[in-house]
Amino acid sequence: MIDIEACASIGDALRAAFQTHGDRLCLIEADRDRENARLTFQELRAAVAPLAAWLQERDCRRAAILMTNQWRWHAAAAAVFAIGAELVPLDPKLAPDEHAALLAHSGADTLFVEWPFWRDRAFDGTVVVTEAPAKADVRHATRFEGARGTEAPAFVARTRDDPACIVYSSGTGGRAKGCVLTHGNYLEQLNALLKRHRFAVGDRYLSILPTNHAIDFMVGFLGPYACGATVVHLRSLRPEFIRAAFPKYRIAFMALVPMVLENLRTGLDETLAGLSWPKKKLLDLCLSIHRFCTRYEPSLPLARFLLRPIHKRFGGNLKTLFVGGAFTDPATLRRFYEFGIQVANGYGLTEAGTVVTLNDLRDYKPETVGKPLPGTEVCILEPNADGIGEVAVAGPTVMARYHDAPWLSQKTIVNGWLMTGDLGRLEPTGHLVLLGRRKNMIVTAGGKNVYPEDIEHAFDGLPVRELCVFAAHYLWSDKRTEELVLLVHANDDEFVADLRTRNLKLPNFKRVAGYVLWNKAFPRTASLKIKRPALAREVQEAGPDGVVAL
């Protein structure tokens, strides 16, 4: 592993990784059953050098990347950092007009873009297009393979205080904002994360989250490279290909969102349900022994011995799954822990680098999002009688500012503390419990505070695709009540009996008054969080006539 504390910038860290790990495998790019590329650190470095020289010849200062996960993403980013330029990672899932707005706002002078996202799009700057068909007219752009400089690039040093990236996030406040993250923010975050979970040389990390996202940029790019591990890019999110990748590539680590974790759990439970009676009895015995022996802390060697068929399904080399970005059902986390598959759930936001808290598996509390990382402080502002208040974060990973928004920066970072807009409380053990977004909180006529996310958690496991809770008057202005409405994306109405039973178990002020059947997928962010305002606008247009009373 490289010495992160000795590095002054991301460029320094990547250069040290290329020099240290040389002929070790650093990246595999797979697409369903096909493998597109395998690169060693030395081979990736050889691809980065001429690209960096080409960018330097064109005086690149700030480059945006608009690509799905592939080796060229890493090569482009490494080239940008090598010449001391700033990076603007963009979300491929956004609409073309959103891309155009972010490019204009960021002030990027260079754009790396995948052919399907480019086509006839206009950009007033240098454009590098990847994967364009041989006969395609790339207009005023340069093909990726043709972006090669004539001289060796000159490495440009940067300090930890210099900006490294402008990362766009809906984060604290709803609309997209450019978070200016410094080289120091990233290096401090990387150092703290590796103190909790370190990649070993040769470990393989399965990358399915977009690399532009803060989580995968950290643990699917910087982290593995620093440690000499291998990133496996999987360019398909279909569950069967994700499951097949574990044994095929002997995956050790993976970051994922709760929805993907649930899919993995469903596949595992279906397999176990098909076991013969003797095998089920043997499994129950092994689970009982494992449960007793790991009641205080996990033991990966014991789990792999007692529960070998389960771990073999995940390749036999899995160490830890990281999950975040939204609420994760504690029952799912306990289920994986029971099988000896370690799932570290956490909490983070782009404005704080990536990760704020992460569960320590030796003091595992799945109903929480864990304890703050080393060097990070968390406090609860103006807590009520139940200890609930706004979560504030301080530490070396908190962003420098919002790009071109000084008034918003001053409002969001107060005396060094990041105002997250999230509501939570701290347990005596130091674990953080999240309740929801402050802006989503509903105050009833009786003065009770209701958190929609809290109610949604009570309905986890309903046989529906998606659900979301709103206050009726938020959706429809003519509703002069704060009664709660459950929006349900379902195939049929088989969930209703279960919904009524669970609803009656809630306190009166938390019960939903009715539900709306919604036949469209909910709009979501890159990390698969529901875009509540966008969803609310869709429901508003449909009107309140579809509400079914409970």
CA separation for the pair 17, 455 (Å, rounded): 46
CB contact at 8 A, 419 and 409: no
CA separation for the pair 228, 443 (Å, rounded): 51
CB contact at 8 A, 526 and 93: yes
pTM: 0.85
Look up tokens 């007009």; give the residue.
97
Secondary structure (3-state) at 432: strand
Domain with CATH 3.30.300.30 in the chain: 441-549
Q: What are the b/e assignments for 146-178, b being 16+ CB within 10 Å? A: ebebeeebeeeebebebbbbbbbbbbbbeebbb
pLDDT digits 0-9 by tens, 355-399: 999 988 887 888 999 999 999 999 999 998 889 999 999 999 999
Cα radius of gyration (the chain): 24
**Taking each helix axis from N to C terminus, what angle separates 10-21 and 71-82, rounded to the nearest 10 degrees?**
120
- CATH code given to domain 257-437: 3.40.50.12780
Q: Which helix (H) or strand (E) holds 309?
A: helix 308-313
Q: What is the pLDDT of residue 172?
A: 40
Look up tokens 């986890």; give the residue.
460
The DSSP output letter for 446 is T
Q: What is the pLDDT of residue 170?
A: 58
Q: What is the pLDDT of residue 175?
A: 60
Dihedral of alpha carbons 417, 420, 422, 427, sign: negative
Q: What is the pLDDT of residue 447?
A: 63
Helix, strand, coil share of the chain (percent; to 5):
40, 25, 40
DSSP secondary structure letters along 118-177: HTT---SSEEEEES--TT---TT-EEGGG---SSPPPP----TTSEEEEEEE-TTTSS-E
CB contact at 8 A, 222 and 289: no
Q: Which two tokens stand for residue 31?
A: 């697409």
The DSSP output letter for 95 is -
Phi-psi region of 32 (alpha: psi -120 to 50; beta: other; left: phi over 0): left
Domain with CATH 3.40.50.12780 in the chain: 257-437
Distance of CA 17 to the CA centre of its chain: 24
CA separation for the pair 180, 400 (Å, rounded): 6
CA separation for the pair 92, 74 (Å, rounded): 15
- Amino acid at the residue 328: T
Please give the chain's pLDDT, 550 residues, in tens: 899 999 999 999 999 999 999 999 999 999 888 899 999 999 999 999 999 999 999 999 999 999 999 999 999 999 999 999 999 999 888 888 888 889 999 999 999 999 988 876 678 899 999 998 888 888 789 999 999 998 899 999 999 999 999 999 754 444 678 999 999 999 999 999 998 888 999 999 999 988 998 889 999 999 999 999 999 999 887 888 888 999 999 999 999 888 888 888 888 888 888 889 999 899 999 999 999 999 888 899 999 999 998 999 888 999 999 998 777 888 889 999 999 999 999 999 899 988 999 988 887 888 999 999 999 999 999 998 889 999 999 999 999 999 999 999 999 999 999 999 888 999 999 999 988 877 777 766 666 778 888 888 888 888 888 899 988 877 876 655 568 888 899 888 889 999 999 999 888 888 898 899 988 889 887 667 788 888 888 888 887 777 888 8
CB contact at 8 A, 27 and 205: no
Contacts for 108 with CB less than 8 Å, ≥ 6 apart: 62, 63, 64, 88, 125
The beta-carbon contacts of 39-47 under 8 Å, at least 24 apart in sequence, are 39/71, 41/17, 41/225, 41/228, 42/18, 44/18, 44/71, 44/74, 44/75, 44/78, 45/18, 47/75
CA separation for the pair 403, 409 (Å, rounded): 9
The DSSP output letter for 363 is G
Give the bridge partners for 228, in sequence order: none
Give CA angle at 71 (70, 76), nearest 5°.
Answer: 105
Q: What is the pLDDT of residue 456?
A: 87
- For the chain, what's the residue count? 550
The DSSP output letter for 320 is E
CATH superfamily of 441-549: ANL, C-terminal domain (3.30.300.30)
Q: Which of 324, 92, 103, 100 has the alpha carbon at shortest distance from 210?
A: 92
Of 2.60.40.1170, 1.10.3720.10, 3.40.50.980, 3.40.47.10, which CATH number belongs to 4-234?
A: 3.40.50.980
Domain with CATH 3.40.50.980 in the chain: 4-234
The beta-carbon contacts of 532-539 under 8 Å, at least 24 apart in sequence, are 532/440, 532/468, 532/470, 533/174, 535/468, 535/487, 536/470, 536/474, 536/475, 539/470, 539/475, 539/487
C-alpha count within 13 angstroms, C-beta hemisphere, residue 482: 16
DSSP secondary structure letters along 161-174: TSEEEEEEE-TTTS
